[in-house]
Amino acid sequence: MTHIPTPLAPPPDILRCAYMELVVTDLAASRNFYVDVLGLIVTEEDSEAVYLRTIEEFIHHNLVLRRGPVAAVAAFSYRVRSPQELDRAVAFYTELGCEVRREPEGFTRGIGDSVRVVDPLGFPYEFFYDVQHVERLAWRYDLHTPGALVRLDHFNQVTPDVPRAVKFMEDLGFRVTEDIQDAEGTTYAAWLRRKPTVHDTAMTGGDGPRMHHVAFATHEKHNIIAICDKLGALRLSDRIERGPGRHGVSNAFYLYLRDPDGHRVEIYTQDYWTGDPDNPVVTWDVHDNQRRDWWGNPVVPSWYTEASPVLDLDGVPQPVVARTDTSEMAVTIGADGFSYTRPEDDTDELPSWKQGEYKLGHQL
């Protein structure tokens, strides 16, 4: 793909990922999943949309569920440091020739002056500063559930050319904290941050632009176990796609769920501080089976292949471009795929109960 030029205009000063706007096909079913099952707080709702937040959030929402004909992502939304940063966002993306729209009254309830763009990678982004404050429920222990979701942690985006995406995100002011590569120099994924955690978003190699997942944080791993127990009690264990487990990348404890439309949601906890200016980048070998799961458990194929479409600013699904570099799934669970925990291991040295575990046919 063509190189994305670095704009002369400075990028907006981004504070953190703030909310995602999801289009869902059955608003009542989605509300039940995110509110009654996962425990997100309803800030406002009407017949067309539900505005949700985590228990420690003070801005109006972290998630918008909007009724629509096609399940997709309408916006990856970031808060910026000041109102003046919106002018910088307009200049930065206009120089790149991107579609840019500004709405002084905001594109969603509870959000003021906002800029929405389709970036050069094909993703719909929003930038805002003005926001309606709501009650932070950190002290409302009477409302907390065993699996309480405390904040929005990150997004994960699927893109066919990860190095191209990383270069552009670095131009936007993001810093890489971790990535996955092979000995030939192919990059399979990268984690990038603005706030001082492992990431505000990640770029995962695959057919894109698509949304891989949106992640909400809990305080402790026992909160994730409680969510699993609740899903089991409700006979909703089929919502669990992967985990619980611990990542090598990010060191976080995780659980991946699928909502009624198939949108992937991660529940996430216990990553680490990255705020120092010399924070070192951690690079993982794509053949190391502990990068995705620290315990060496295999990754289900759907996690590599399925993701949510993203929309343009008119609500039309963006065309998907195929990845031409080697896919991570092909490397790790393909026809002759296996992974190692120690670099010197080969397939014959793996225990018999592990041999073949990462081959696609053994997972279906």
% of the chain surpassing 70 pLDDT: 91
Please tell me the predicted confidence (pLDDT) of residue 174: 98
Region 8-17 average pLDDT: 98
Q: How far apart are CA 132 and CA 106, in angstroms?
A: 11
Q: pLDDT of 296-312, one tens digit each?
A: 888 888 999 999 999 99
pLDDT value, residue 60: 98
Find, among 269, 263, 172, the residue nearest to 214 by Cα.
Answer: 263
| Mean per-residue pLDDT of the chain | 93
Between CA 200 and CA 245 the distance in angstroms is 20
Helix residue ranges per DSSP H, the chain = 27-31, 85-95, 162-171, 221-233, 301-305, 328-333
pLDDT of the residue at 289: 83
With a cut of 60, say whether residue 358 has pLDDT above it. no
Q: Sketch the domain layout of the chain as residue ranges.
A: 14-130+146-309
Query: How would DSSP label each residue in 68-89?
Result: -SS-EEEEEEEEESSTTHHHHH
| The pLDDT of residue 345 | 63
* pLDDT at site 298: 81
Least confident of 17-31, 314-328, 334-348: 334-348
Give the mean model confidence (pLDDT) for residues 93-104. 98
CB atoms under 10 Å from CB of 282, counted, come to 18
Name the E strands within the chain.
14-24, 41-45, 49-53, 63-67, 72-80, 99-103, 114-118, 124-128, 151-159, 175-181, 187-193, 201-205, 210-217, 240-246, 253-258, 264-269, 282-285, 308-309
CATH 3.10.180.10 fits 14-130+146-309, yes or no: yes
User: pLDDT by residue (tens digit) across 222-254?
Assistant: 999 999 999 999 999 999 999 999 999 999 999
336 pLDDT band, cuts 50/70/90, is very low
> What residue spans of 96-161 are helical by DSSP H?
none
Q: For residue 211, what pLDDT is reported? A: 98
SS3 167: helix
Instruction: Give tens-digit pLDDT for 48-80.
Output: 999 999 999 999 999 999 999 999 999 999 999
